[in-house]
A and B are shown apart, each in its own frame.
Chain A
């Protein structure tokens, strides 16, 4: 309140300044300025709507001819007529699942620590500053981190003779370093979306009224019991919304996956955590980068598939939020 006073006074001076200058520019003139600014606003705002419409319509026009069941169930091919997105679609699903399973607990855990458990200390403010800075790191730089940390394990194990755990046929076959398998891809995308999940979960936790927490603590619950039984359930709808937005980001990222060095042309779907993979955005990049029109049509069709997946995600978010809000309320 006190800190805000000078600023308020400063802002309040400006209307007075306007009034003082009123005789100079007539009321009619200012009305005209208001009207033309409104026209400018309307024009520019409709421009954004037009851009979105042109984008969606051209992609639909270019790509819908290639859409078919075969397009979803065929692997990529040198012959445009036979090409499909099976490998990249399944790759995206695997990578996104790994990303969600790793990023959600870590991200929400960080948010809970910062909002519920941390004391005001240098460490806490350093962690907060660090997260704010991580959000501005370009995704391709996370790709370099993923390449060194996950794909190569800092060079601690040789890629030529990896340490293997389990049977290559099994679902949980592991090898060190991870190479450019789905596990490395998913963990790299986890790094990309972690700041988003942390910040949105923090906002979710902050929106829970303090009285609920003090009520629980007064009944003898510990900090964690309060968090687990009271605060988290109340904030789950908002946390899930943020998480799904983060997953939409993850599924559309191409650059970090590209840096890992995944093969651009593959004809198999992942079977375990070490399987080679590619993702939809990378497949789109590959097709869009070729000069032939047929491949541009394939890129547009793959974009339609990608946007459909994103739309499904958002629909799930809306339904989930609605359900959980009703359950909580």
Chain B
């Protein structure tokens, strides 16, 4: 408050100072200021416009898709068969794609959330400074690798490994290989954001805990992690959002068969992989298959937006603030 007052006083005295200058210069200066302010506001409104446009496009196209004679809204939201490209019997039930996406995301989360948290705890609570400076670039490189590279890795390293060492039932395309690759992709997000949250916990809490005779493990798990929980959960939700929307890994390594399965050795199709199949192929624009990809995108968008909003609310509601 005091600062704001200081600034406004300064501004007022500046205005007074410039009043002594020529009238033209002051008017010109105020005019420039207004124009620039407007231009900057325009930049900021562009991002609002893009959200709005995404919503309008998705809803309009989904509406048109659901109104088509081959499609029923009831089947779309409850159906368990997705066979849009198979000849006469076309079925548009979204659930096979949703469960496919969820299985991939669950595998990725089962790998990345605990591993990322342990890495974060190690970096923040245990690692000596030298080890930390050596390890941070590893995470940064992992975070910077394009997802198509992870797709290639899943196809040429993870899947052959699963086939040779785990079970013969893992084919060229399988959910587990793709899921692990997605997990590797989101691991740096969990690790670095959770580490930020852990490091934001004030030192005094750790000191108090050690003074009471806690080991570093006790301090980390029973004091620091609970204190940073909102940040950790936010990093988890962000990572899950990224896993839901991940496209190139699943398009390369998970296959193209839309069916409901919980078997990680199975080939499956996610929502994003279906969109790739449609946009890559030559389905006629404005045909029913083509429009169906917009409906799938709408469901995906709703899921990720919901998670992002929940994450932000969580961060705001449970943030522990320290002096």
Contact = CB atoms under 8 A, between A and B. Distances in A.
Interface stretch (B38-46, B80-88, B89-97): B38-46
Contact of B304 (A107, A130, A138, A217): A138
Most buried by A among B29, B33, B119, B275: B275
B245 interface: yes
A220 interface: yes
A3 B321 contact: yes
A312 interface: no
Contacts of A34: 215-218
B118 interface: yes
Contacts of A37: 217, 220-221
Nearest to B308: A136
Tell me what chain B mostly uses at the interface: helix, strand, loop, or mixed.
Answer: helix
A16 interface: yes
A11 B43 contact: no
Interface in A186-240: 191, 194-195, 198, 210, 213-214, 217-224
Nearest to B253: A288
Given A12-B208, A145-B50, A224-B33, A218 B223 contact: no
Contacts of B145: 55, 252, 307, 310
Given A138-B272, A144-B58, A40 B43 contact: no
Interface in B145-181: 145-149, 151-153, 155-157, 172
Contacts of B39: 109
Interface of A: 1, 3-4, 7-8, 11-12, 14-19, 22, 27, 30-31, 33-34, 37-38, 40-42, 44-45, 47-49, 51-52, 54-55, 58-59, 62, 105-107, 109-110, 112-114, 117-118, 126-127, 129-145, 148-149, 191, 194-195, 198, 210, 213-214, 217-224, 245, 248, 251-255, 258-259, 261, 264, 281-282, 284-285, 288-289, 291, 296, 299-300, 303, 306-307, 310, 314
Interface of B: 3, 6-7, 10-11, 13-14, 17-18, 29, 32-33, 36-37, 39-48, 50-51, 53-54, 57-58, 115, 118-119, 121-123, 126-127, 135, 138-139, 141-142, 144-149, 151-153, 155-157, 172, 184, 187, 191, 205, 208-209, 211-223, 226-227, 238, 241, 244-248, 251-252, 272, 275-276, 279-280, 294, 297, 300-301, 304-305, 307-309, 311-312, 320-323
